[in-house]
């Protein structure tokens, strides 16, 4: 299973406008969405995940392999409507903003409990924000999203059910941002704050210590095999008849090592539902009736898919540069990155790898994000002449065998790595390598287990070029702030910069700051159109396209209602087994 996360640390969705007068905002969504049928409690669903989680810590994890687990266990103040992308009530039943647009007050539901039966109050919310998310030594990627001009909100409890957020400046999509922070138990974690919190909730954590307020709780984790979840009996949500959710008693999360194994298990009936790549559509589509499942096609994936070069100027503790200085000079050259982009035949990726079930990319946003997508940017296409012209302008040349050399005579060769579990990426990497051979670049391709690859990106910085994706379920560009700001943890090509290393990165910082402070939707649109144009011009990520998002679920389950924003699993707490 690859959940399309509505409220993740990387990308969240909200289109909002500011309030010039005091407003009261409440939500009726304390029950299941209208249109869903009343289900019968009980039963189980068997799902799948590639490779398994890296951590059970929802505050510091920054990879989808972990969030697939933590999003079932933990929950925040609000979530987002899977159709509109607008915020709706979750742990908070209502909220309000004052006339300045800078003071937000959230009101918790009375009687909230964590999955261990202990009370969840405003003290837990304040503790989570002030002692965990805002602690400078906690590796929380959400902090990058919540910080504006280096400042964070002031958070305090007004009473046991009321939390006040005083913002340093106006913050257009703050309600959705607040929902992106899961509430953790102060009672359980009060003595585990600071740098040590980064190691809390590892894979060896006893399941009953994972105290959250989400719809399910982890009952057992067998590393490399599966996770077993059971319903949280204290979950707040009810259906329209007043019956407690979730309906399902159990989720079995089977860990598979690659996409081929996942599809085989699904065909054999060992998995009830999965997201899958267009690669597998011709295999699965003819089996729908016989296999008693339904395929859901959801349009262009919200996930970005790219190759990225390591532009990190820093050094390891022993003084060794993270990147070979010769290769670093290539990677930091916009002409080089653009030439690589011009060399790639993205149509071949769509036709060969995705069976024609894909869409053009023109920058960092997917067409499925709607309003915020900059449709004026032309699609990224192949043009070998343009690629060679750019390389020549930066002093590159070719030898008699057609091999590319830089201005100092060094042969251009680098290593491209992607995650071994993802067959589609492996096939795409093969096409990329062949395309780059046409302009004389030698690519050494290698594969790593996903979490090992994430460790290289987050910790060792020991990589040259990576093919990966950024996942998330939103459209509002601010919720990629931890990618775009130069000090961000997910500023992948050169993270955690003390100051921007280039003028264009400085501009991205300014655009993110301007976009989040504006309360005018049209002004924000203009700002983020510019951000997308800068990213397109500089190409820190060389985007490859958007595959069509697809999933399949056995027809024995009711209330399956995927949306482009929410994906296939947004309402798993409402799934039920049909009689």
- CATH 3.10.105.10 at 304-474+540-547, yes or no: yes
Name the pLDDT band for 170 (thresholds 50, 70, 90). Answer: very high
Residue spans of the domains in the chain: they are 37-275+560-577, 304-474+540-547
Name the pLDDT band for 484 (thresholds 50, 70, 90). Answer: very high
Q: What is the pLDDT of residues 499-541, one digit of tens each?
A: 999 999 999 999 999 999 988 889 999 999 999 999 999 999 9
Confirm whether 37-275+560-577 and 304-474+540-547 share one CATH topology. no
Q: What is the pLDDT of residues 65-100, one digit of tens each?
A: 899 999 999 999 999 888 878 889 999 999 999 999
Matching CATH number, 37-275+560-577, of 3.30.470.10, 3.40.190.10, 3.30.450.20, 1.20.1090.10? 3.40.190.10
User: Can you give the pTM of this predicted structure?
Assistant: 0.83
Neighbours of 438 (CB within 10 A): 15
Q: Using the predicted structure, report yes or no on whether residue 155 has a pLDDT greater than 60.
A: yes
Q: What is the pLDDT of residues 230-281, one digit of tens each?
A: 999 999 999 999 999 999 999 999 999 888 899 999 999 999 999 999 999 9
Report long-range pairs for 557-564 (Cβ below 8 Å, ≥24 apart).
557/45, 557/272, 557/273, 558/37, 558/39, 559/32, 559/36, 559/37, 559/39, 560/294, 560/296, 561/33, 561/35, 561/36, 562/296, 562/298, 563/82, 563/83, 563/298, 564/298, 564/299, 564/300, 564/302, 564/368
């Amino acid at each position: 299973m690859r959940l399309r996360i509505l409220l993740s640390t990387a990308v969240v969705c909200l289109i909002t406008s500011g309030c010039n007068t005091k407003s009261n905002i409440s939500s009726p969504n304390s029950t299941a969405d209208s249109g869903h049928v009343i289900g019968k409690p009980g039963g189980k669903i068997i799902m799948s995940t590639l490779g398994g989680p890296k951590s059970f810590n929802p505050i510091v994890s920054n990879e989808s392999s972990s969030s697939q687990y933590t999003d079932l266990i933990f929950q925040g103040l609000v979530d987002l409507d899977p159709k509109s992308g607008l915020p709706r009530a979750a742990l908070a039943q209502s909220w309000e903003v004052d006339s300045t647009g800078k003071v937000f007050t959230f009101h918790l539901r009375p009687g909230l409990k964590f999955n261990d039966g202990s009370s969840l109050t405003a003290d837990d919310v304040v503790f989570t924000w002030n002692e965990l998310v805002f602690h400078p030594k906690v590796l929380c990627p959400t902090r990058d999203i919540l910080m504006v001009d280096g400042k964070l909100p002031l958070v305090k409890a007004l009473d046991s059910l009321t939390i006040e957020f005083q913002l340093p400046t106006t913050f257009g999509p703050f309600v959705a941002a607040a929902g992106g922070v899961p509430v953790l138990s102060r009672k359980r974690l009060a003595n585990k704050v600071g740098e040590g919190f980064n190691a809390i909730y590892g894979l060896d954590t006893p399941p009953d210590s994972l105290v959250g307020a989400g719809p399910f709780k982890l009952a057992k984790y067998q590393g490399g095999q599966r996770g077993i979840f059971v319903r949280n009996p204290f979950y707040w949500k009810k259906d329209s008849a007043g019956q407690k959710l979730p309906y399902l008693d159990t989720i079995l999360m089977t860990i598979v090592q690659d996409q081929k194994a996942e599809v085989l298990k699904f065909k054999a009936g060992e998995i009830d539902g999965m997201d899958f790549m267009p690669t597998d559509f011709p295999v699965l589509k003819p089996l729908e009736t016989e296999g008693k499942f339904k395929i859901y096609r959801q349009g262009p994936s919200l996930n970005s898919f790219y190759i990225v070069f390591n532009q990190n100027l820093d050094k390891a503790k022993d003084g060794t540069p993270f990147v070979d200085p010769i290769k670093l000079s290539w990677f930091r050259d916009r002409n080089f990155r653009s030439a690589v982009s011009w060399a790639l035949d993205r149509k071949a990726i769509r036709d060969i790898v995705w069976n024609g079930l894909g869409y053009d990319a023109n920058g960092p946003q997917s067409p499925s994000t709607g309003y915020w997508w900059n449709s004026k940017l032309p699609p990224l296409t192949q043009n070998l002449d343009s690629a060679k012209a750019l390389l020549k302008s930066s002093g590159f040349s070719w030898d008699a065998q057609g091999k590319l050399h830089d201005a100092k005579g060094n042969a251009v060769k680098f290593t491209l790595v992607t995650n071994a579990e993802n067959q589609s990426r492996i096939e795409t990497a093969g096409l990329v390598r062949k395309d780059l051979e046409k302009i004389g670049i030698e690519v050494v391709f290698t594969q790593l287990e996903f979490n090992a690859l994430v460790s290289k990106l987050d910790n060792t910085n020991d990589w040259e070029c990576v093919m990966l994706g950024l996942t998330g379920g939103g459209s509002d560009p601010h919720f990629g702030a931890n990618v775009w700001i130069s000090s961000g943890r997910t500023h992948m090509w050169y993270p955690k910069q003390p100051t921007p290393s280039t003028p264009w990165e400085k501009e991205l910082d300014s655009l993110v700051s301007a976009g989040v402070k504006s309360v005018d939707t049209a002004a924000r649109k203009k700002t983020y159109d510019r951000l997308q144009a800068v990213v397109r011009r500089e190409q820190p990520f060389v985007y490859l396209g958007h595959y069509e998002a697809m999933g399949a679920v056995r027809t024995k389950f009711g209330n399956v209602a995927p949306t482009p924003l929410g994906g296939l699993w947004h309402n798993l707490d409402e799934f039920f087994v049909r009689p």
